[in-house]
Amino acid sequence: MADLLTTEPGALPGEPPATTGLTMQQAINRALAELLEEDPRTLVLGEDVGRLGGVFRVTDGLQQRFGRRRVMDTPLAESAIVGMSVGLAMAGWKPIPELQFDGFAYPAIDQIVNQLARMRYRSRGALPMPVTLRVPSYGGIQAPEHHGESLEAVFAHVPGLKVVSPSTPGEAYRLLKTAVRDPDPVVFMEPKSRYWDRGPVDSAAGAAEDGPEDEPRLRIARPGRHATLVTWGAMVRRCLQVAELAAADGVDLEVVDLRWLKPVDADGLAAAVRRTRRAVVVHEAPRTAGLGAEISALLMERCFADLRSPVRRVTGYDVPTPAGPLEEHYLPDADRILLAVQNVLEN
């Protein structure tokens, strides 16, 4: 108890103070702690999120601090996790369910599409769905099959769902708090390969009080003059590395972190691409019908007369996400991204 009293609000005993460097895993944990502390209606549930603290330890210590009625272990049943969250939201709670891995979302697709996404519409607004579905996503850790999927296009295609994906610890902290305060269901796609990245987290910055409508949706991660790399999640860091490599050859690349994949900040994106007049979209998901196609179409509709080259896409391949060491041959790497940049610059 003494340790709790001498620790700042939202931080567990022994944690670094606010504004110092945290890993993304720690930043999400801190945001969850603060959300649980702020609102007694907030609940965390999922497989192993309680006693174990989550397979990635993102919820470590929360059950000990807030009790088993607020941080609940569930059966290994994704459909039940999402279904229970829908029922809890209908009863006035604010659930934050976790699905352990992206590929495990498929067993819950009926509850996500036919219940979670539609309940507010179906009830003509009488039943808001303030559910934030946390999904550790994307590849990069050479895990087994079903542990490295990129489902953003699946989620973004469903009316009624919002989709957000952070790229840094600070973004994860702030965007999670914004998502939880939203009255609509939000799929929060956490780049699991970045859980151990460390960066500044400004607790005082908080989040937009009124949800994503007041939140600047995209972020210029790096300004540039010659071409724009449009990306999100784990690929933001890779694109920043590519920009550094290009800079050594005198090519100044801008990197746009999309952050909100739905709704997309269409005006902000168009304005960014108009500045360089060339764009390359980078994502991990397979190419066909991926979100890159939607982004490319959006840019064609809004910036066609300004573009000096067709929009290019660098993506995963149209195959199941490979497991283990084969993954590095699947994910977009620096050479593939630089080749696309060269292509848009030469056209």
d(CA 180, CA 30): 14
Question: Which of 151, 147, 150, 76 is closest to 113 using CA atoms?
Answer: 151
Report the catalytic residues. 147
Specify burial of residue 8 (Cβ count, 10 A radius: 0-12, 13-18, 19+). exposed
CA angle 208, 102, 147 (to 5 degrees): 135
Cα–Cα distance, 101 to 182 (Å, whole number)? 23
Q: Euclidean distance between the first and final Cα of the chain, in Å?
A: 65
3-state secondary structure of 320: coil
**253-259-265-271 Cα dihedral, nearest 10 degrees:** -10
